[in-house]
Amino acid sequence: MNNRINNTFSKKNKKLITFVTGGDPDYETSSQIIENLACGGADIIEIGMPFSDPMADGPTIQLSSMRAINKGIDLNKIFSLCENFRNKNNNVPLVLMGYYNVVYHYGIDKFIKSCEQTGVDGLIIVDLQPEEDSELLSKLKTKNIDLIRLVTPTTNEDRLNTILKNASGFLYYVTITGITGQQTAEVQKIRESIIKVKNSTKLPVVAGFGINNASQVKEICTFSDGVVVGSSIVKIIEKNYKNNKNEIIPNISKFIINLKKGILP
């Protein structure tokens, strides 16, 4: 499928992928943050769908989900955020990331239709295993929306082949075992694992979890197709939303521009 994700990876430079929870710390600020991520140089933007029990996420992302939920953010408002962004930027891909419970309760058909209407390019459903994805996958087949898969350090060759069977867009290599935002990635181990994965697929492979500065970005981009940075951005929101809300946007912009230095030649 030829969508924004494919177009982005068709350019051979390394990619900076950013994550924020949609609606954190509130709708208006979140909308501005998403716009500024693109302005700062994010090649793809992942938007987290708030969920009350985000089991794969550490405290930072969990708290961001609760901040959004407490502000009344639901999937309708997430789609509204996507639509607002798409009205201003038709190039940077948007990927919704979250848990299947949220999608299922919204209604799969309604969810996919809303993705189409608001310019969503890909989905990462953290807890949806390949053995359980047939309903969603069958409905996505005719749409221009990628189902992006996670690969972890414990994924063996058989499991990788199962994951790759219906993967599209890119592969998200989780650099650490455990929850988000809690450890720093060990670069040599990541290198070996990503090289193995890349030998099995033509899909781009990006690395995420535990990556939080330009030097890490630069090093990991020597063997991956890009990096995902999330918890460090969300921590900026967490640190400033109560007393220094007007500092959130400039601090995130500064952080993204600095991260981008690790990618640019």
Burial class (CB within 10 angstroms; exposed 0-12, middle 13-18, buried 19+) of 91: exposed
Catalytic sites, residue numbers: 46, 57
Tokens coding 22: 């949609």
Element (DSSP H or E) covering residue 78: helix 75-88
Q: Strand order in 94-98's β-sheet?
A: 146-147, 122-125, 94-98, 44-48, 15-21, 226-229, 205-208, 171-174, 149-151
Dihedral in degrees, nearest 10, Cα atoms 139, 141, 147, 152: 110
CB 109 within 8 A of CB 130: no
